[in-house]
A and B are shown apart, each in its own frame.
Chain A
């Protein structure tokens, strides 16, 4: 995300159509990773025992891949709703960071825009848009860029989910497609580990997750996440450069 201003110079004085098109264009390659994830979520949601309408509805109501997978697993394990809500909240806590990061670029917008862009704010939309927002020209229409990334992702996610639900029943169990969720998480985790404290956070979370498997209501997810966060904080001072 260290793209300089030059990359975005063509958006100087851009209208909403140009910003929207640029946002869509930068988001499209990310769908390569998102669409298989959506497919697998659709398949796994049914396997976990959720009705098709719930699998599809969750993609627009909750709209967060990893939290939807966790929801399906917890519902399938008959975990109480309050624990599901708390676990989903922990999994999605990181969105507060994105919210804080884009807020300065959206402060002039109407309520309706703020609600819409907050709803569309996901990992992939944020990652794709923050470079342009931070380093590009401060155009009055730049929120259309964020809308372009968010809506493209939203659309791809809905299509992938429906496709997963439709083909889900035809996929043989021997393909072990459930494993691709873990693989997706590996693909997200590995590039995110840059500092020592992040390694510690991941290692502690993984260990607690393994050791606490016996906890009721899959509370080990929350226990492991919180332990990992605390461990990361505790080790922050051992990172080479000052923490960002």
Chain B
């Protein structure tokens, strides 16, 4: 099988799985409600997934964990967390984080 076909099938498979998740209760009927425990578990998906994706992006540098103050991505990440906390704006967070990263890369 060619790489392109395999890629297409993987995308379609992921798409169908995601569609099934979105469709689940809409078709399962309004009568069936998820239990409290299920709801609670699913509520932790966003914080867990997002934190898992963020941490290596800002802390792994050339293959090893770097908590040093000379890690530009760590500094920029800290700025972004502060901006996100106070502004609650996606755009402001991206803009300030990128500017902080460029500034840190110049200075360090």
Contact = CB atoms under 8 A, between A and B. Distances in A.
A174 to B, nearest CB: 8
Interface in B40-85: 40-60, 65, 73, 76-77, 80-81, 84-85
A206 to B, nearest CB: 4
A58 B40 contact: no
A25 interface: no
Given A119-B22, A213-B60, A182 B53 contact: yes
A183 B93 contact: yes
Contacts of A62: 11, 14-15, 18
A210 B59 contact: yes
A155 B50 CA distance: 24
Q: Interface majority SS on A: helix, strand, loop or mixed?
A: helix
Interface of A: 32-33, 36-37, 50-51, 54, 57-58, 61-64, 66-67, 69-71, 75, 81, 84-85, 88-100, 102-104, 106-107, 114-115, 117-119, 121, 175-177, 179-193, 197-199, 201-210, 213, 220-221, 224-229, 232-233, 236, 243-244
A64 B45 contact: no
Contact of A99 (B15, B25, B52, B88): B25
Name the 9 nearest CB pairs between A and B, nearest first.
A228-B48, A33-B90, A224-B52, A232-B44, A202-B51, A206-B55, A187-B93, A182-B57, A61-B15
B59 to A, nearest CB: 6
B18 A92 contact: yes
A233 B45 CA distance: 11
B51 A228 contact: yes
Contacts of B14: 61-62, 67, 71, 84-85, 88-89
